[in-house]
Structure 1
Amino acid sequence: MASLRAGLATAGRFALDLALPPGCLACGRPVASAGALCAGCWGRLRLIERPFCQRLAIPFGYDIGPDSLSAEAIADPPPFDRLRAVAIYDEFSGRIVQGLKYHDHTELARSMAAMMARAADDLGVGAELVAPVPLHPRRLWQRRFNQSAMIAAEVARRLEKPHVPDLVDRIKPTRRQVGLRVSERAANVQGAFRVSPEARQKLAGRRVLLVDDVYTTGATAKAVTRALLRGGAAAVDVVVFARVVEGPG
């Protein structure tokens, strides 16, 4: 029966694809499978590939050896251990992120998560829990969904790790970070996150993979990481779809 159901499902997807061919997740042109990028759009996605800073995923212009760190990571080490990102944040990758976040294209979450799971493959080995950056209840009510939680659920499935969406709470409503200076971003999220007493039992001594869509200055990821560490996490790694890179690159 299981084989029959699988066969019927495959046949159903094939028939649907014939009637309504899957479209590129960026431009909508027909592609071979749902959630893929067409060749033209794939070439526009500025992937972050080795060599890069092992701590902050900042791309290097040339290979300077294994486990190399950027000047930023050395001068101002983040509270999390390692960051991984699929692509550099620019107009093109931003369009994908904003399509999910602000335009209700929730189908993008699965495709973004697939790429993020590959980017975080080395982090997944040691991860014990996968958690999203939370939204404040007021913002969640306004937006109707947490894009980071949708992505995190799929990343966890692909890495075969438990997804714990309620591991950390956002207890303070904050302004949108867009347009704020670095110091303003940090102040905006200060004291905004907390691990509840109930979640501490799940968290105690565990290594967490924190999931978000974009890493800009890192203020939010750092604030959530500090809350997780205070709540008893052994360590935190972070994976995002895109990260901002200053200067050429």
Structure 2
Amino acid sequence: MTDTAIVLRRAVYPPACVACGAMTESEFALCGPCWREAGFLAGALVCDRCGTPLPGRDVALVLCDDCLRRPRAWSRGRAALPYRGTGRTLALALKHGDRADLARPLGVWLAAAARPLLTGDQVLVPVPLHWGRLLRRRYNQAQLLATEAGRVLNRPVLPDALIRRRSTRALGHGGRDARSRAMADAIAPHPRRGAALRGRAVLLVDDVMTSGATMNACAEAARAAGASDVRVLVLTRALLEP
């Protein structure tokens, strides 16, 4: 696109905040209030395994109480944003609001959050959707995020290495145990393409993590496919009440 075309486009469609629609100085950006409300987690003290924000600072490789009590099938994890305010607005818009265009800026933020997790031979693998839900939604938001983050990080993305063998109910409600039961045996390596994970370090990508039940199922499936290491990267980290 030429400079003239960019000027004309901005005259007709001025840059707007991706969260609230207020005018901004550049495209794919947040306005001041939404930026302050976002609470980006890069540089903050977070649990090294699940990415949940923690009080304090300057502590390396600290784990939250939940990760100390409950085993995880993955080794390390990070989130770009907490699941509240701006983060929640953007995650819901991407998943349910037909805002696939949001994947571009959100993928950049994900890539920034991923820096502590990167290894040399890593591949990005999105959390899979069941085919029925994919037909209704028309896209997998985790795959969109993984594709954009992989582009920024210059890492390969394997969008179909894992499959969701059966449809699971929405996990927005219910405690940890109910979520774990709902995900039991729901995720598996793809019968053919899952072999691409053998001996590889895997970075699982999703839009929201709450209890970690979905990520646990995906990590177990990746390890069953022969992955040498599994880490998790999510756009937003929600907190689940005990």
TM-score range, shorter chain: over 0.9
Aligned to 1:45: 38
Matched with 1:213 is 207
Aligned twin of 2:101: 107
Please say which structure displays the higher CA radius of gyration. 1
Of 231, 236, 242, the residue aligned with 1:242 is 236
> Which of residues 81, 84, 87 is equivalent to 2:78?
84
Alignment pair present for 1:73 and 2:67: yes
Counterpart position of 1:5: none
Tell me the distance in 2 between the aligned counterparts of 1:190 and 1:96: 29
Q: Any conservation in 1 of the 2:80–2:110 contact (CA below 8 Å)?
A: yes
* Structure 1 runs, 4 residues or longer, greater than 3 Å off: 8-11
Q: 8 Å contact 2:17–2:30 — kept in the other structure? A: yes
Distance in structure 2 (CA, Å) of the matches to 1:9 and 1:237: 41
Deviations 1:39-72 (A, max 9, x none): 1110111222422221122222113632222222
The answer to whether 1:116 aligns with 2:110 is: yes
- 1:172 — aligned with what? 166
For 1:99 and 1:175, the matched residues in 2 are separated by 20
SS in 2 for 1:58: coil
Q: Verify: 1:155 aligned to 2:149, yes or no.
A: yes
What are the superposed Cα offsets for residues 79-122 of structure 1, whole Å, 9 maximum, x if unpaired? 11111111111143211111111110111111111111101112
Evaluate the alpha carbon distance shift between residue 181 and residue 245 of structure 1 in structure 2; reply closer, same or farther with a 3 A threshold.
Answer: closer
Q: TM-score, normalised by structure 1?
A: 0.91
Query: Residues 46 and 54 of structure 2 are in contact (CA less than 8 Å); yes or no, is this contact kept in structure 1?
Result: yes
Give the number of aligned pairs. Answer: 240
Code of the residue aligned with 2:65 in structure 1: it is A
Q: Deviations over 1:192-213 (max 9, x none)?
A: 1111232233111000111100
Query: Contact (CA 8 Å) 1:35, 1:107: kept in 2 or not?
Result: no
**Whole-angstrom CA distance in 2 between matches of 1:174 and 1:60:** 31
Partner of 2:19: 26
User: CA RMSD for the aligned pairs?
Assistant: 1.6
Structure 2: any 5+ residue segments left out of the alignment?
A: none
The unaligned stretches of length 5 or more in structure 1 are 1-7
Q: Deviations over 1:6-55 (max 9, x none)?
A: xx444422321122111101110111222100011101112224222211
Could you say what secondary structure the match of 1:212 adopts?
Answer: strand
Relative distance call for 1:189 and 1:106 in structure 2 (3 A) is same
Alignment of 1:180-191 (within 5 A): 180-191=174-185
In structure 2, the CA distance between the partners of 1:149 and 1:10, relative to structure 1 (3 Å rule), is farther
Percent identity between the two aligned chains: 32
Question: SS state of the match for residue 237, structure 1?
Answer: strand
Q: Return the TM-score normalized by structure 2.
A: 0.93
